[in-house]
Every structure is written in structure tokens, then in C-alpha cells.
Amino acid sequence: IMIANFAAMDIKPGSMGKPLPGIEAAIVSPAPDGTLAFVPDGEQGQLALKTGWPSMFRGYLGEDARYRTCFVGDWYLSGDVAR
């Protein structure tokens, strides 16, 4: 779990919550040239997590190529739509 609702937070219906301490998250839009554009606050994009967290998974079973396509630089693209 990288993002969660905390007991002291007001919970918004449909919200995943906030990144846990030590987790860097951003909303991005992959560009055709292979770079990432960071989306302005409130706009829809894809949830990305900065790599290097202790429990980061190391691959999809039997799908190494798929795993590699989930990264742009140091960012893991979750595939989740968020704002």
C-alpha cells in the first residue's frame, strides 16, 4: 500500500487518500516522445510513483517486457487514473 486514508483525515468518497510517508507520488501524462509531463493540480492524469520504496515489486510473473514498459525514468506508472 503506497497511498491510503489516515484516521485523522477527512475522507472524500472516491479518493485513494494521500501518499504514505516516504512515498513520492505525482499525476502525470506520458508524452509521445517517451517523457512525462506533470499534470496541474485538479487535472486528470495517470498516478506515478517515484521508484525506490522498500516494498517495490520486481516484476510481473513471466512478463518482464510488460514490467519494463511501466517505467519512465525513475517513475513507475501505475495505470491508475487520478487527479
Is residue 55 one of the residues assigned to a domain?
yes
Q: How far apart are CA 44 and CA 57, in angstroms?
A: 26
Is residue 11 one of the residues assigned to a domain?
no
What are the cell numbers at 68?
Answer: 519494463
**Domain CATH code at residue 31:** 2.30.38.10
* Tens-place pLDDT, residues 45-79: 999 999 887 777 888 899 999 988 899 999 999 99
What is the count of structural domains for the chain? 1
Q: Can you give the pTM of this predicted structure?
A: 0.79
